Amino acid sequence: MPVRTTKALVTVLGIPQNPQIFGYELPIRETEMAQLICRSSGSKPAAQLRWKKGNKELQGGPSEVTEDSNGKTFTVTSRVEFTVTKEDNDVEVTCTVDHESLQNSERSTSQKLQVHFKPTATIEPDPPYPREGEELRLQCEAQGNPIPQEFLWTKEGSDVPLHLNTNRVLTLPFLNKSDSGTYICMATSTMGSVVVRYNLDINDFSQLPTPHVHSTPAPSSGPSQSTTHVTMATASFFSPVTVQDASPMSSSSGTYHALVGGVVAVIVFLLLILLIVLAHYLIRHKGTYLTHEAKGSDDAPDADTAIINAEGGQASGDDKKEYFI
């Protein structure tokens, strides 16, 4: 009897190679568009590529599939575009290959982003609440990528710079009232400049000035920005708030309060004595008045009759005297 033979059709899978990322060469400036390309060869059937920035999925463009030179496998290319911010600095963008031959493994590659962004700054005083006669150090703390390396210190109302070098610290060795005013630090990098202000008010030993710092980054279109644009940057002003000294009360002040308390006690004591004497006088005056009541008032039915009886008795006495004369 005839023998039948069967042929099994076996599909050979092509395992994709590790992906590669192209298109990133120099640091990207803030607000610019990043354009990255991911490519993987050797897959059969054609693999799928997906993007991720940090922990966030990125939507790439349609994949391009081309046949390899061997005529058996394929090369897959994917592109992605996004606008970078300063938060993207040092963030990794990852391209991953999805293929049925990679069930228990994953092939991916990552590219760390370097984003250049405008600087920011603050002024840190040491000590935080300076007093007259002390040394004050003002440190201009700047952040950015790249970090500012040039610092210009000036005082508002003066055209003479206080410092112009890489030293971010301004030292005032012995504070006095003439040092009061607004101190300005301008930090500059290749991405532009930032202006930050510190208001200092020196009154006396019993008052502490509260510093207020406000920074204003100067907009920049490139590293060739001129100093004129930097100095025209606006900034808000804050009036210094004076904080009273919380030191303990001095002994001379306690003695003064004790003296005032003693004087008040003496005055109160004298007032009490005066009230007692006045009350005693009023009581004695009332008794004297009662002893001078009109005679005959005991037998009179009312006050008028008592007065008439008293006057009548006086008159009759006078008449008798005139009669005998």
Domain with 58 in it: 20-113
Query: Which residue, 247, 151, 142, 155, is CA-closest to 200?
Result: 155
Residue that is last in its domain, among 113, 134, 160: 113
Verify that 101 and 55 share a domain, yes or no: yes
Verify that 78 and 167 share a domain, yes or no: no
CB atoms within 10 A of CB 148: 25
Q: What pLDDT, on a 0 to 100 scale, did the predictor assign at position 301?
A: 65
d(CA 146, CA 92): 19
Verify that 198 and 229 share a domain, yes or no: yes
Specify the pairing of strand 48-53 against strand 56-58.
antiparallel
What is residue 14's DSSP assignment? B
Q: Is residue 297 part of a domain?
A: no
Verify that 88 and 184 share a domain, yes or no: no
Q: Is residue 280 part of a domain?
A: no
Q: Is residue 289 part of a domain?
A: no
Verify that 107 and 131 share a domain, yes or no: no
Verify that 138 and 229 share a domain, yes or no: yes
Q: What pLDDT, on a 0 to 100 scale, did the predictor assign at position 248?
A: 36
Verify that 101 and 174 share a domain, yes or no: no
Residue that is last in its domain, among 56, 82, 113: 113
| CATH for 235 | 2.60.40.10
For residue 114, count CB atoms less than 10 angstroms from its CB and return exposed for 0-12, middle for 13-18, buried for 19 or more: middle
pLDDT along the chain (325 residues), means of 10: 44 84 90 94 93 93 92 94 94 94 87 94 93 92 93 88 79 92 93 94 57 48 34 31 34 66 89 89 66 54 63 49 46
Verify that 136 and 199 share a domain, yes or no: yes
Verify that 62 and 132 share a domain, yes or no: no
Verify that 92 and 54 share a domain, yes or no: yes
Q: Is residue 284 part of a domain?
A: no
Q: Is residue 229 part of a domain?
A: yes
Q: Is residue 312 part of a domain?
A: no
**Total structural domains in the chain?**
2
Beta bridge partners of 189: 192
Q: What pLDDT, on a 0 to 100 scale, did the predictor assign at position 207?
A: 44
Predicted structure pTM score: 0.55
Length of the chain: 325
Percent of the chain, pLDDT > 90? Answer: 47
Which DSSP string do the residues of 17-68 spell out, in sequence order?
PPPEEES--SPEETTPEEEEEEEEEEEBS--EEEEEETTEEE-----EEEE-
Verify that 41 and 138 share a domain, yes or no: no
Name the strand (E) or helix (H) holding 268: helix 251-290
200, 240 in Cβ contact below 8 A?
yes
Rounded to 5°, the CA angle 166-171-177 comes to 140
Which DSSP string do the residues of 280-324 spell out, in sequence order?
HHHHHHHHHHHTTPPTTTTT-SSHHHHHHHHHHHHHHHHHHHHHH
Residue that is last in its domain, among 209, 228, 244: 244
Verify that 145 and 180 share a domain, yes or no: yes
d(CA 301, CA 316): 21
**Biggest alpha carbon–alpha carbon distance for the chain:** 203
